[in-house]
Amino acid sequence: MFGRSHSDETKSKISTAKSGKNHTEETKRKISLSKLGLTPNNASAVVLLDSNKNLILEFATLKACAEFLSVSVATVYNYKISGKLFRNTYYIVQKS
């Protein structure tokens, strides 16, 4: 509805349709956790290894690893999938 507004009648219908509907307790918990900045359940934990496959760091999320390496999440994901050496220094692998 770019550039347009709902009529008062339509707003009333939307309000009536939405009234009485609440989030489940599980959904409320998930919303609460997401607002706290905690790690989501579907986060992909990764491990940063040196070129000799020695452990350097562990990350709970791809985003945390990307921030550490100053690259995008997509870059971390692509190197994790490919198994290639990142910057001739690190391997990024899925935490098992």
Residue 20 predicted with pLDDT over 90:
no
Does 13 reside within a domain?
no
Does 70 reside within a domain?
yes
Q: What domain range is 56 assigned to?
A: 46-94
- Give the pLDDT band of residue 18 (cuts 50, 70, 90): confident
Question: Phi, psi at residue 82, to the nearest 5°?
Answer: -75, -30
Does 1 reside within a domain?
no
Per DSSP, the residues of 61-73 read SHHHHHHHHTS-H
Does 88 reside within a domain?
yes
Does 17 reside within a domain?
no
pLDDT in tens, 44-88: 889 999 999 999 999 988 999 999 999 999 999 999 999 999 999
Report yes or no on whether pTM surpasses 0.85: no
Total number of domains constituting the chain: 1
Does 39 reside within a domain?
no
| Residue 65 near residue 46, CB atoms below 8 Å | yes
